[in-house]
Structure 1
Amino acid sequence: MHRDLATLPDQNTVTCDLCIVGAGAAGISMAIDWLKAGKKVILLEAGGFEFDVETQALNNGTNIGQRYYALPATRLRFFGGTTMHWGGYCTPLDPIDFETRPYVPHSGWPISYKEFASFLPAASKMVEIDDETWNLDTYIADKENYVPLDLDPSVFYSKLFKFSPPTRFGEKYRKALVESTSVTVYTHANLTDIVLNEAGQQVKKVRAKSLNGNTLTVNADHYVLAMGAIQNARMLLANNKQHKQGIGNHNDLVGRYFMEHPEVKAGQIFLKKPQSMKLYFFDYLKIKMYSELAIAEEAQRAHGLLNVTAALSPKELSGDWAWINTLPREGKKSYDFWMKSEKKVLARPPSDVDTRKYRTYQMQIRMEQSPNPNSRITLDSKKDRLGIPEPVLNWQLTSLERNSIKGMYTVLGKELIRSGIGRLHAPDWVFDTSLQWPDTLGGGWHHMGTTRMHNDPKKGVVDANCTVHGINNLHIAGSSCFTTAGSANPTLSLIALTLRLSKHLKQHL
């Protein structure tokens, strides 16, 4: 069933078993999972079924940290959420991402990779990809044309990505939800108030409002916030009438540990031996997969590095490559890997350098951000049209990100030389960590953290079941619960985590 709050009489009140706030990848996945549960579900969506400029403006906010995109551009505020401009990249978090790593502060999930992975088949179905395997060797049938680089798999491997069509959740699942007799979708219903009981240990009701002033009160047994990492934190902080510091924020953790995937073009790989590189270049019309180079878990642990991957794109060198051009010149540093490190071995060019043409491939880095409590969402004094304080993003990176970039290039450079297949070039800032990140540094539009998962309320906002500590009927869905970010695009993993929460709620309802 569908109802548009903007067209209903004012002061509506409804009662249900489960209230889900936000109709993006997480919220719609959960609502679809409840279609046949025999319970009454309310799904609140801030926007309508189409993009609207005035509604989108409710995502306004300010960035005071690391250079970043304008916040309204990073998330869509209408039915289907950001899946409506999603690229469809799918790969799950890795086992190491769930581990407590001594060199990564605040790492370690309260759930195992095995448990998380058990929900990947259902998540894969939601985004219309197969879940046969994530092992490249067994997945690739055409081994002649799709050939991975011959690197030591304990150092670097080719990580498999699959492509969703991409699934536009607002189109794919709209009919099933609006025609449902158990789920009611309310559009133009912006969450404004979360009201707790007198003890402050349960949500008593929530209120939503349309831009034209109509209000809706929802009384439910359980509530799920699925609005994304920025808006989830914003609404918990803004609802501070009963708890001065905000809901779930007794330990000043709501909004902290905001994570992104730093992304930047940085350097090239030069391959000596021609080989098919189809595996690393995606073609939506021909094959729904591709690979990126990824540093293996064993190498991450050995060198104390974060999870990093590199996408390759062709950039053919014209003519023979003149090795002498890589030598340091007066007043200019050179950070070609083989000139920078272990000079006795690496500065000596191969004998065929003047006669053999190298094939050149640009590297696009995507990396894990370490959990950082100073990278956070807070509230501005400025308010939106509905009276909710706007969010302030302070995206902060640490020395571990810089050192992991440097370490990854060092390990990859050595492995290319050891294997005899090529060489690596990196720009100055990679090896000279006194230099600033380049202006080309961006993010993947991947918002994670801010309501992180941890069984200790002094270290996380939600417990292992994504329930807000101290409030037994308030739950958080999506990537805001991620304890660490990994290097994987988060959509597939956040859906898997949401379906795990959905199963937990069904057991309690």
Structure 2
Amino acid sequence: MLDLHPRNEPAERLPVLLNSPPAPEAVFDLCVVGAGPAGLSLALEAARGGLRVLIIEAGLARKAVPPATRFAATTMRVLDHRRHAPLSETTRTGIGGTSWLWGGRCVPFESIDYELRAHVTFSGWPICPSDLAPWQNRAAEYLDCGSADFQTEPMSGWQSQAVSTSQQERWSRRPQLAPHLGAQVIAHPTVSVLTGAVATDVRFNPAGTAVTQLRVRWAGTEVPLTARDYVLACGGLATTRLLLHVQRREPAFFGGSDGPLGRYYMGHLTGSIASISITPPELFTELDFRQEEDGTYVRRRFTLMREAQIRGHLLHTSFYLGNLPFRDARHGSPTLSAFFLALTSPLIGRCLAGAETRRRNAGRPVGGWGAHLQNIARRPRRLPAEVAAIVRLRYLSSPRRSVFVIHNDRGTYALRYHAEQVPNPHSRVRCNGRTGADGLPGVDIDLRYSDQDVESVLRAHQLLDAELASTGVGHLIYDHPEERRSEAIRQQAMDGYHQIGTTRMSADPSAGVVDPDCRVHGFSNLFVASSSVFPTAGEANPTFMTVALAVRLAHHLTDPARRRSQRSERPGSGWGSPAAWPAQ
């Protein structure tokens, strides 16, 4: 894919925010920590349900800031930079949160993603698809991706009992959420928003069963904030870091120091080890982006069916078309060659494409510099036409597109995969003994990939290749000999963009941090709205699911019966025994 760098919306369209903290005596119905996709969606839905909401955001209103600019490198330390992208590339603070980096891809989970699967250790959600189905249309509204319809007719000539071509991803028309969703939130009469406020501590009642106060640092001073309910929606790593800080003071909280908090850190496996040759080449149009009447872009994908996953002991995996490597002149495309030559300039490259695209297409040219110049000279009229179309769709159209697959006459494209990672309790985030300038603990980020993750991706390719052959619509061309393919997958395994699993959901307090309602076990009024609550990662990008869960949580918090019971209920007595974890 040609994934162009996100372009910021004009500053004058961004919202205006509070100038100072609320009065100490103010008591809100709901305090939301974080103004990213989950926090904004939850706050607006709760406000529409009648709650008085306070949003606390560590960043600024008019500028998205990487966390590395606020914390020393030792505060949040990535242990293996081959596996985890730099935090400066994966996280933003400010209104809109990491939506400033988000490409806009929206994909739901499928039924198998919720299931307890024998071949996936620690799998199984305590909720099912019907628990989230009622909230998916609202999530689509907040993310501006059209409807919540993610199914389409199979591709022409496709008949398979193992691989589906009926699932389509939807793309947000406005993936940077601050100018539209953020503005709606702040314009709501029962929402207050305070920026530049870092949540530094959570205080509890003497019984340790309910939150009584959130403390934030604003303009160099500690400010107490009070609400009936509190939701941590500050991102997977930030939420985990705050809870680890509380656990340093209260070791028995959240399942104990050897419990689930910070464990099961997951993302996805992405990359390409093969190209796909489509027969006939015209089928490309069925696998390329398509624009619906409302302007939303959608795209068909290859996905593994449930029975094939169970039968083959495979993790959930999807495939979609991408551009052949820019640096390989054998693609014959004048446009890809021109983009490669532009990316070799650090200044132009940073303006033209995101970090992941630059990293994927870096390196010495295959075929030499002259071969790229020959591609451009061979089709001199095609280059300006394709570049003009990209410029029009990226900068002049509404909605804008940031991802493009350039059509080629050969019908051969890179086959990109997006695969599930198995939950692993040793893949984790933990305190490193340091303390940041904000008073929160330093953490070591240890993202690990397993042999099962890698081998599943390889066998998923083999299954797709067999189905392509049996249907007569194409075949795979591998980039490496068979004995080197697993290593190629492992070398490309890197995430950190999708911060999943470290506050996982479970009905059992010893096995998870939050319950099926996203309430932190043991506390009556503390909740988490983040992809960090996912017990498994599925193959889907997590943003759509995170927002659907946030909308569902908002309805739980606004339920009239629950609000009445808050005045009289006595929270439960606590945690029970912590889980026994295998030795490191």
Which range, TM-score by smaller chain? 0.7 to 0.9
Q: Which of 206, 209, 216 lines up with 1:201 in the alignment?
A: 209
Give the Å deviation of 1:158. Answer: 4.3
Deviations 1:42-76 (A, max 9, x none): 11011111226586534652111452211132111
Task: Give the counterpart letter for 2:287 in structure 1.
Answer: Y
Please name the residue that 1:446 is paired with.
498
Contact kept, 8 Å, 2:273 with 2:488, in 1: the verdict is no
Give the Å deviation of 1:180. Answer: 3.2
1:173 aligns with 2:181: yes
Q: Which of 260, 263, 273 lines up with 2:270 in the alignment?
A: 263
Q: What SS does structure 2 have at the residue aligned with 1:119?
A: helix
1:290 aligns with 2:299: yes
Q: What SS does structure 2 have at the residue aligned with 1:268?
A: strand
Q: What SS does structure 1 have at the residue aligned with 2:506?
A: coil
Give the Å deviation of 1:390. Answer: 2.5
Q: Which of 281, 292, 315 lines up with 2:288 in the alignment?
A: 281
1:488 aligns with 2:546: no
1:239 aligns with 2:246: yes
Mark the CA change 1:396 to 1:297 in structure 2 (over 3 Å): closer, same or farther. Answer: same
Give the Å deviation of 1:270. Answer: 2.1
Task: Give the counterpart letter for 1:447 in structure 2.
Answer: Q
Please name the residue that 2:366 is paired with.
none
Give the 5 Å matches for 1:345-494: 359-428=411-480, 435=487, 437-443=489-495, 445-494=497-546
The TM-score with structure 1 as length reference comes to 0.83
Contact kept, 8 Å, 2:136 with 2:148, in 1: the verdict is no
Contact kept, 8 Å, 1:262 with 1:443, in 2: the verdict is yes
Task: Give the counterpart letter for 1:470 in structure 2.
Answer: G
Q: What SS does structure 2 have at the residue aligned with 1:495?
A: helix
Contact kept, 8 Å, 2:266 with 2:423, in 1: the verdict is yes
Mark the CA change 1:435 to 1:235 in structure 2 (over 3 Å): closer, same or farther. Answer: same
1:127 aligns with 2:143: yes
Mark the CA change 1:169 to 1:207 in structure 2 (over 3 Å): closer, same or farther. Answer: same
1:184 aligns with 2:192: yes
Please name the residue that 2:118 is paired with.
102
Q: Which of 307, 313, 322 lines up with 1:313 in the alignment?
A: 322
Please name the residue that 2:97 is paired with.
81
The TM-score with structure 2 as length reference comes to 0.73
Mark the CA change 1:279 to 1:421 in structure 2 (over 3 Å): closer, same or farther. Answer: closer
Contact kept, 8 Å, 1:309 with 1:366, in 2: the verdict is yes
Q: Distance in 2 between matches of 1:37 and 1:24?
A: 20
1:63 aligns with 2:75: no
Task: Give the counterpart letter for 2:460 in structure 1.
Answer: M
Task: Give the counterpart letter for 1:224 in structure 2.
Answer: V
Deviations 1:169-193 (A, max 9, x none): 2211333333333211111110001
Please name the residue that 1:500 is paired with.
552
Identity %: 29
Give the Å deviation of 1:368. Answer: 0.6
Could you tell which deviates more after superposition, 451-460 or 151-160?
Answer: 151-160
Please name the residue that 1:112 is paired with.
128
Please name the residue that 2:18 is paired with.
3
Contact kept, 8 Å, 1:236 with 1:246, in 2: the verdict is no
Mark the CA change 1:190 to 1:13 in structure 2 (over 3 Å): closer, same or farther. Answer: farther
Could you tell which deviates more after superposition, 477-486 or 157-166?
Answer: 157-166
Task: Give the counterpart letter for 1:223 in structure 2.
Answer: Y
Q: Distance in 2 between matches of 1:277 and 1:304?
A: 30
1:51 aligns with 2:63: yes
Please name the residue that 1:324 is paired with.
none
Q: Distance in 2 between matches of 1:107 and 1:36?
A: 35
Contact kept, 8 Å, 2:270 with 2:419, in 1: the verdict is yes
Aligned length, in residue pairs: 460
Contact kept, 8 Å, 2:500 with 2:532, in 1: the verdict is yes
Q: Distance in 2 between matches of 1:484 and 1:426?
A: 29
Give the Å deviation of 1:431. Answer: 5.4
Contact kept, 8 Å, 1:466 with 1:476, in 2: the verdict is yes
Q: What SS does structure 1 have at the residue aligned with 2:153?
A: helix
Please name the residue that 1:29 is paired with.
41
Could you tell which deviates more after superposition, 487-496 or 178-187?
Answer: 178-187
Mark the CA change 1:125 to 1:205 in structure 2 (over 3 Å): closer, same or farther. Answer: same
Please name the residue that 1:157 is paired with.
165
Deviations 1:8-36 (A, max 9, x none): 69x95632121111110111101101223
Contact kept, 8 Å, 2:254 with 2:260, in 1: the verdict is no
Task: Give the counterpart letter for 1:384 in structure 2.
Answer: G
Q: Distance in 2 between matches of 1:451 and 1:390?
A: 18
Q: Distance in 2 between matches of 1:213 and 1:258?
A: 32
Mark the CA change 1:96 to 1:186 in structure 2 (over 3 Å): closer, same or farther. Answer: same
Give the 5 Å matches for 1:313-332: 313-315=322-324
Please name the residue that 1:341 is paired with.
none
Mark the CA change 1:462 to 1:258 in structure 2 (over 3 Å): closer, same or farther. Answer: same
Give the Å deviation of 1:2. Answer: 3.6
Deviations 1:286-307 (A, max 9, x none): 7611122111222111101001
Please name the residue that 1:351 is paired with.
none
Mark the CA change 1:54 to 1:431 in structure 2 (over 3 Å): closer, same or farther. Answer: closer
Could you tell which deviates more after superposition, 282-291 or 493-502?
Answer: 282-291
Contact kept, 8 Å, 1:151 with 1:416, in 2: the verdict is no
Q: Distance in 2 between matches of 1:88 and 1:258?
A: 23
Contact kept, 8 Å, 1:90 with 1:489, in 2: the verdict is yes
Q: Distance in 1 between matches of 2:84 and 2:168?
A: 28
Mark the CA change 1:504 to 1:68 in structure 2 (over 3 Å): closer, same or farther. Answer: same
Could you tell which deviates more after superposition, 101-110 or 444-453?
Answer: 444-453
Q: What SS does structure 2 have at the residue aligned with 1:408?
A: helix
Please name the residue that 2:227 is paired with.
220
Across the aligned residues of Structure 1 and Structure 2, the Cα RMSD in angstroms comes to 2.7
Contact kept, 8 Å, 2:210 with 2:523, in 1: the verdict is yes
Task: Give the counterpart letter for 1:275 in structure 2.
Answer: E
Please name the residue that 2:312 is paired with.
303
Q: What SS does structure 2 have at the residue aligned with 1:102?
A: coil
Q: What SS does structure 1 have at the residue aligned with 2:229?
A: strand
Q: Distance in 2 between matches of 1:491 and 1:89?
A: 8
Could you tell which deviates more after superposition, 301-310 or 155-164?
Answer: 155-164
Deviations 1:195-225 (A, max 9, x none): 1111111111110002x41222112111110
Give the Å deviation of 1:246. Answer: 5.4
Unmatched segments (≥5 aa) in structure 1: 139-146, 319-356
Unmatched segments (≥5 aa) in structure 2: 1-15, 325-329, 333-408, 564-584
